[in-house]
A = this chain, B = another copy of it.
Amino acid sequence: MEFSSSLLENAVSEFAKLPGIGKKTALRLVLHLLKQDPGNVAAFGEAVLKMRREIKFCERCYNVADATTCAICANPLRKQELICVVENIRDVIAIESTQQFSGIYHVLGGIISPLDGIGPDQLTIEPLIQRIPKEKTEELIFALNPNIQGDTTIYYIQKKLQGTPVKITTIARGIAFGGELEYADEMTLARSITNRLPVEKYVQH
């Protein structure tokens, strides 16, 4: 693409660095901003700069935070003895959006994946192990993606916690609501039969 303005070209090439944004989309976004009020564009640019400069990671759970402790850990209404272990911040947001979880979190920052060169030491597993006796955690719920790496991570942490008096659970796996049996993979279908539930638990009123 040929631009007659280097200011435009710079802005477009910065946008085009974002994942899933090509040159044409980047141009569309930049021309949209160009039509906006300068105040709105300043608000956009400054929100991005401020976010990167000032955002912190919670010292306790490694979630994003505005202060040294995140809003969830700092909330006295949340059950502090119930920790939900997730892979990343996006999972925290997904679970929070359900408004069904009243405990706190622990963000691993990834999952064990030897093929990608990610071992336990690159994750926040050690801090998690240390939290449990310190915070008198009663239950650890693993909410990891159901795949080999997720299972390996659960297995590794479970091993590390042998002898620690903490209940370890994982989110239910099975056929998603609205899903169709015939399109489910064999692993999911097999597990959903093995871990079948009594009907009174299934149909919630």
Contacts and interface: CB of A to CB of B under 8 A. Distances in A.
Chain B CB within 10 Å, residue with most, of A5, A20, A38, A41: A5
B54 A7 contact: yes
A32 interface: yes
B5 A17 contact: no
Interface residues of A, number: 61
Nearest to A39: B52
The residue in A49, A71, A97 that gathers the most chain B C-beta atoms within 10 A of its C-beta is: A49
Interface in A83-127: 88-90, 92-93, 96-97, 99
A14 B44 contact: yes
Contacts of A189: none
A66 to B, nearest CB: 5
Given A27-B90, A53-B38, A47 B10 contact: yes
A167 B58 CA distance: 69
Contacts of A53: 38
A179 interface: no
A128 interface: no
Contacts of A41: 48-49, 52
A197 interface: no
A190 interface: no
A129 interface: no
A31 to B, nearest CB: 6
Interface in A1-56: 1-8, 10-11, 13-15, 17-21, 25, 27-34, 36, 38, 40-55
Interface of A: 1-8, 10-11, 13-15, 17-21, 25, 27-34, 36, 38, 40-55, 58, 63-66, 70-72, 88-90, 92-93, 96-97, 99
